[in-house]
Structure 1
Amino acid sequence: MKTVETRTAEKLTVRDLSVHYGGVCAVRSIGFTVAPGESVGIIGANGAGKTSTLKALMGLVPRSGGSITLGERDLTRVKARDMVRHGIGYVPEGRHVFPGLPVRKNLLLGAYSRAWDQESRQQLDEVYELFPVLGEMGDRLAGALSGGQQQMLAIGRALMARPRLLVLDEPSMGLSPKLVGSILDVLLKLREEGLSLLLVEQNAKLTFGATSHCLVMENGEVAMNGTSAELSHDPRVREVYLGL
């Protein structure tokens, strides 16, 4: 059973990406790729530049350097509101659902860039299949949901646009260990179905479990880079990020 109808996967390439806030350099000339169907994680301490990297990728903060391409298309100058039209879905830190709107309307807003047709209706059904609780609470206000349910809603809303690449910023933030496990299960299912993933997380165990490749950021730079399996066994990573 296929849960998410994805577009043809394309390679994301980020080159020499930099972000400055005034005179402070938050991200310093980093580069990485996400191959079609690949899942890539970015971990690091608070202030390492992880969220700034994602926001710069999505056009939510100004870039002071670098380029972004998806497939053959140059997205470097594409406005944030248009990134979803080019196949990049975004689940922001803190979820940012619309609390005064019902669950179903939150999901429908995720499909704003598409015509509402039979394919969109099928996508909604598939999101409900992925997250049954959302179907059961379709008329409930999003603000009345638990933190875990809101995270499911934020992911479901992003999937409604049928992205080629799904970008997630701290999806485990504020969730219980049980709910973190549920989110991991969902990410693994999406990964198995071929959706490309780019995940920023402080929870290294979740990141290594959900991704095939990982970057470790420190002070706005990529300090380590390798497969998730390799990094999960690296002594430095195990001590600093896994507490082992």
Structure 2
Amino acid sequence: MAAGTLQVQNLGVRYGGVTAVEGSSFEVAPGECVGIIGANGAGKTSTLKALMGLAPRTADALRLGEVDLARVKARHVVRHGIGYVPEGRHVFGGLSVRTNLELGAHSRRWDDQAKATLEEVYTLFPVLRDMRERLAGALSGGQQQMLAIGRALMSRPRLLLLDEPSMGLSPKLVGEVLDVLQVLRGRGLAMLLVEQNAWLTFEATERCLVMQNGEVVMTGRSADLRHDPAVRRLYLGL
């Protein structure tokens, strides 16, 4: 495996007696954006939460490069190179944009490198620089999504997990999110994307995993899957 590759083998997630994910296996390499698609309840969000240690999980292998994630407590996952953009953004509405971003670097020393990362985030999202002293709760939904992504990038992750980043956004802002994901991929960041917006998913990713009832039932190139009748039925309801 390339250094920094995410390796997942036979991942399982159970909530009490309910199985949310069963036997899921996949890899994500540096500079690769992989999508997870499927209907609601297919196990997509549970997969991301399992990688973050936020859901009860079992796995034969769960590694990011040299790090055995199965041995890492949830509160330390960010230190080992994973950034997480949760569904619903969850920014700290009563704190300023700048403070939200600084909190994203809590696992690092606040030094010149951290300040340089902040400048990189401001370059990706100029509106955050303009509104850096404004309360996060006063931002629009699109601006809050940019803040959530920027906050996750402040830890300088090797792998970025994104859960529904286009939710509630206008088509113009969805296009801006796509532009940012392409820039990040070009910088060698590995990304795992859960997204209901079919256009964004197939444009942003090179490969997709198709999940149904907690299992990965199909994998393939995004360019091929977007025209696959079975995928259209499972994912798009067509």
1:156 is matched by which residue type in structure 2? G
Contact 2:8 2:59 in 1 (8 A): no
Unaligned runs of 5+ in 1: 1-7
Aligned position for 2:212: 218
* Identity level (%): 72
State the 1:64 CA deviation: 3.8
Greater shift, 74-83 or 136-145, is seen at 74-83
Q: Give the TM-score taking structure 1 as reference length.
A: 0.93
Residue 63 in structure 1 maps to residue 48 in structure 2: no
Where 1:216 maps in the other structure, the secondary structure is strand
What is the distance in 1 between the residues matched to 2:234 and 2:10? 26
Q: Which residue of 2 aligns with 1:5?
A: none
Structure 2: runs of 5 or more not aligned: none
Q: Is 1:34 aligned to residue 28 of structure 2? A: yes
| Aligned residue among 99, 104, 107 for 2:93 | 99
Residue-by-residue CA offset, 1:26-74 (whole Å, 9 max, x unaligned): 1011111001211111011110000001001110111144431011221
- Does the 8 Å CA contact 2:39/2:234 hold for their aligned counterparts? no
Report how far residue 239 of structure 1 moved: 4.7
Instruction: Tell me the TM-score normalised to structure 2 length.
Output: 0.95
Which shifted more, 212-221 or 177-186? 177-186
Residue 212 (structure 1) shift: 0.8
Q: Secondary structure at the match of 1:76?
A: helix
CA distance in 1, matches of 2:55, 2:104: 21
**Aligned residue identity for 1:42:** I
TM-fit CA distance, 1:242: 4.6
1:13-162 aligned at under 5 Å gives the runs 13-162=7-156
Helix, strand or coil at the partner of 1:167: strand
Amino acid of the structure 2 residue aligned with 1:221: E
- Matched residue type, 1:159: L
Q: When the two structures are aligned, how many residues end up with a matched partner?
A: 237
Root mean square deviation of aligned Cα: 1.5
